[in-house]
Structure 1
Amino acid sequence: MLIIMAFIIAFFFAMNIGASGGAAAMGVAYASGSIKNKNIALILCGICIVIGSVVAGDKVTKTISSGIAPQTIFTVEVVVVTLIAATLSLFIANMLGIPLSTSEITIGAVAGVGIAFEMLYIQQLVLIIMFWFIVPVVAFGISYVTGKGILSFTKRRPHIEAKWKKPLTFLVILAACAEAFSAGMKNVANAIGPLVSANLLGMQDAALYGGLFVALGAFLLGRKVLETNGKKITSFTLLEGIAISTTSAALVITGALYGLPLPITQITTSSIIGIGSAKNGAAVLKKGIVVQMLKVWFAAPFLSMVIAYVLVKVFIQSDFYAVAIVVAVFLATIGLISLVQSIRQERRSIHENGGGI
């Protein structure tokens, strides 16, 4: 029964991965008008994801399955816990329409399990987290500089895109397909890595089945994220679309070849924000959707880590004292946040009304 549950949760997680990371990969092609139909964008995305997973998804799968915590701790029960923690975090983000990195929440869940068992490869985890911070900044920088170059070029040749529209449209779609391919290389591992850890699936079968469910999720659940990445952050031209997708695909594919589960959603979104900043200055960084994404990106790995830790302590180790501490910390945090908000509201009231209580 637990084995069946592990597969159900893993494939449901894979579908949510498709909705988040997969759909984000096609956001540029959709926003630039290269692909006007959402269904076509998501179908094309799904095909490229499956190819990426089957052809080159093994190195990141190995990292997820045995590079963060010892493979020996991943029994079927632990796999179920890991997948539940990651799936819940991602499902919440998808319902909010926020493009979220599945790598971050999966690594967070695996780290939570490792902490619960006091068996964690801290050096490898720290290395991965360092790249989570560095690579999106690099993507932003590359896109910002490229965006400035494109602006300068199009000012001198304002009719270049109209003249070369068909070739540029093809290049945008090709770059988006490369980005979806890179998503398949590393995103599918987030769902099926735990199954491989418990020897429930071989590497090739896991890549194929995982890729198919990620593709299905992109088509069925990916419309909100496609709209967020494609329309709500900023608008861009064909040349800018090529720059964004090429930058994201190159960085993610390079990382995947070294087994690094880089956050493709953050990288793509950072590239989009870089282009937006090149055109509109810092105003794009103040948009509500950008601020909301930054908050979710920061909180999600910790959320999945805490969920995984608590589930292990309750259902596997029956350590309710540790759970009580986690609950106490959670309640204290909520209380402090509420207190800070009350103080700010009171100060605002004093400032507006000119008096105290």
Structure 2
Amino acid sequence: MTITILAFIIALFFAMNIGASGAAASMGVAYGSGAIKKRNIALWISGVGVFLGAIIGGKEVVKTIGSGIIPSSILNVNLVIIILGASAFSLFIANMAGIPLSTSEVTVGSIVGVGIAFHAVFTDKLLIIVMFWLIVPIVAFALAFFANLLIKDIERRFIWLKQKKWTRILTVLVILTGFFEAFSAGMNNVANSVGPLVGAGLLSVDSGTCIGGLFVALGAICLGKRVIETNGKKITNFTLLQGSAVSGLGAMLVISASLLGIPIPQTQVTTCSIIGIGLSEKGCSIFRKSVIEKLLKVWLVSPVFSLVISYSLVKIFLEADPYSISIVLCVFLATLGSVSLMKHTGKWNSQNNRKDKIKYIIRTRKREREPAAWRDFS
């Protein structure tokens, strides 16, 4: 009984972190475009949208997470705790860094880690999911890029759209599309917290979507401040038409995947749409922003990170043997060493760049103090 209660606590904690990451990011466009000026209002709208999306359309993805990647027959309370614990830990780290991480990636990674430990993974379904992960964000990026070219042409041709009357209409439009995107986040992301519980027979599908949706909504409202700032303000700025395009495209793609029962990286879809808008506005300079680099690194690491954690936990606590524990410890120490080395290398390069810059400034000032004839000669 105590273990079951622990499983539910971890699931609800994970649900709140999902709300803080994916659901909050869904309203980042409306907030960043200025359609909603107060951050708390944007988060409340996000919470309502994600709850409705979960209870209305979240069932198909719950079934996939619960029994579509690994057999539900191997799931028990212990494995549910391992899956949700590995996922929640990965997502919590990302939230503390203010990074909109894909909850679908960390959850699927944790499930696959358990499946590998028991040699029971539905590889055909997994390949389909990974294919969607690769294709859908690229499609979102491309659609947003070309949509923005069209938007810029429309704004240039129809200057009257910037009049106060039409600005109000566009403001309502971007809020509605933001709500639509939050709705899609509820459809797709609630499964990540309650899917393992449903697969293990601890919850029904209907109860899981309702309870999970409620806690995802609470997470968006209470914990989503840093992520909505990252998505809304730190990547690029938007007009109202651009904000509507990003939210509408993201919602359309995520809802389509949800109807097929595919857990999709909803945050990646939204962020790739934002980057597509930024590329058509500012060119390749947007890729030099540190926040973009940080997002890409976390996206690449997150599924592997949660996979390794869940696999290690199974080997240590459920199938303990000296060989497995030794391998896990070696991998952990190697990872820590690699991270430490990368940090040291980064600091070293930063110090060298700073020294080179100081030397350049000193040389430039010396040349400015020299006579013109001597500067020409040198």
TM-score (norm 2): 0.89
Alignment partner of 1:69: what SS? coil
Q: Report the CA distance shift for 1:155/1:114 in structure 2 as closer, same or farther (over 3 A).
A: same
The residue that corresponds to 1:255 in the other structure is 257
Measure, in 2, the Cα distance between the counterparts of 1:84 and 1:342. 30
- Contact kept, 8 Å, 1:313 with 1:320, in 2: the verdict is no
Match of 1:239 in 2: 241
Quote the residue 2:365 is aligned against: none
2:275 to 270, 273, 282: 273
CA distance in 2, matches of 1:268, 1:340: 29
Listed as ranges, the matches of 1:114-193 within 5 Å are 114-163=115-164, 164-193=166-195
Q: Is the 8 A contact 1:99 1:265 kept in 2?
A: yes
Aligned residue number for residue 299 of structure 2: 297
Query: Percent of pairs identical after alignment?
Result: 52
| C-alpha distance in 1 between matches for 2:20 and 2:76 | 28
Corresponding residue for residue 29 of structure 1: 30
Partners of 2:246 and 2:186 in 1: CA distance: 18
Deviation, structure 1 residue 255: 0.3
**Structure 1 length as normaliser, TM-score?**
0.94
What residue number does 1:327 align with? 329
Deviations 1:28-69 (A, max 9, x none): 111111111111111111111111111111100000000110
For the 8 Å contact 1:232–1:289, the answer to whether it is kept is yes
Distance in 2 (CA, whole Å) between partners of 1:50 and 1:173 is 17
Q: 1:37 to 1:199 in 2, by over 3 A?
A: same
Cα distance in 2 between the residues matched to 1:79 and 1:175: 35
CA positional deviation for 1:326: 2.8
SS of residue matched to 2:51: helix
| Partners of 2:277 and 2:173 in 1: CA distance | 18
C-alpha contact (below 8 Å) 1:161/1:238 kept by paired residues? no
Tell me which amino acid in the other structure corresponds to 1:15.
Answer: M
| Partner amino acid, structure 2, of 1:168 | L
Q: Which moved more, 1:104-113 or 1:33-42?
A: 33-42
Q: Judge conservation of contact 1:64–1:194 (CA < 8 Å) in 2.
A: yes
Q: CA-to-partner distance for each residue in 1:164-202, whole Å, 9 max, x for gaps?
A: 111111110110111000001010000000110111111
Is 1:287 matched with 2:260? no
Counterpart CA distance in 1 for 2:61 and 2:338 is 39
Aligned equivalents of 1:245, 1:339: Cα separation in 2? 39
- In 1, Cα distance between equivalents of 2:170 and 2:342: 51
| Pair 1:197–1:239, CA change in 2 (3 A) | same
Letter aligned with residue 237 of structure 2: S
Unaligned runs of 5+ in 2: 360-378
Matched, 1:204 2:217: no
> Take 2:30 and 2:81, find their aligned partners in 1: how far apart are those partners?
36
What residue is the counterpart of 1:194 in the other structure?
A: 196
Alpha-carbon deviation of 1:289? Answer: 0.4
In structure 1, the gaps of 5 or more residues are none
The alpha-carbon distance between structure 1 residues 220 and 320, as it changes in their structure 2 partners (threshold 3 A), is farther
In the TM superposition, residue 335 of structure 1 has moved relative to its aligned partner by 4.2
Tell me, in whole angstroms, the C-alpha distance in 1 between the residues paired with 2:9 and 2:342.
Answer: 42
**Amino acid in the other structure paired with 2:113:** G
Pair 1:46-2:47 in alignment: yes
Distance 1:170 1:91, change over 3 A: same
Shift of 1:340: 7.3
Is 2:96 the partner of 1:95?
yes
Within 1, Cα distance between the matches of 2:274 and 2:264? 17
Cα distance, 1:307 vs structure 2: 0.7
Tell me the equivalent position of 1:73: 74
Q: Is the 8 A contact 1:314 1:320 kept in 2?
A: no
Question: Using the alignment, how far apart are the partners of 1:310 and 1:320 within structure 2?
Answer: 13
Task: Give the SS at the match of 1:193.
Answer: helix
Distance, in Å, in 1 between the alignment partners of 2:341 and 2:49 is 49
CA distance in 2, matches of 1:288, 1:92: 18
What SS does the corresponding residue of 2:189 show, helix, strand or coil? helix
1:4 is aligned to 2:5: yes
Would the aligned equivalents of 1:144 and 1:278 in 2 still touch at CA under 8 Å?
A: yes
- The number of aligned residues is 352
Q: Which amino acid aligns with 2:142?
A: G
Deviations 1:243-272 (A, max 9, x none): 000000000000000001111100000000
Q: 1:180 to 1:342 in 2, by over 3 A?
A: closer
Which residue does 1:316 correspond to in 2? 318
RMSD: 2.0
Instruction: Name which of structure 1's ranges 207-216 and 328-337 shifts more when overlaid on structure 2.
Output: 328-337
Structure 2 CA distance for aligned equivalents of residues 307 and 251 of structure 1:
30
Give the Å deviation of 1:301: 0.7
Specify the alignment match of 2:371 in structure 1: none
Query: Residue 204 of structure 1: CA displacement?
Result: 0.6
Task: Tell me how far apart the structure 1 counterparts of residues 342 and 262 of structure 2 sit (CA, whole Å).
Answer: 38
1: CA distance, partners of 2:219 / 2:52:
16
8 Å Cα contact 1:16-1:217 kept in structure 2:
yes
Q: Which protein is bigger by CA-based radius of gyration?
A: 2
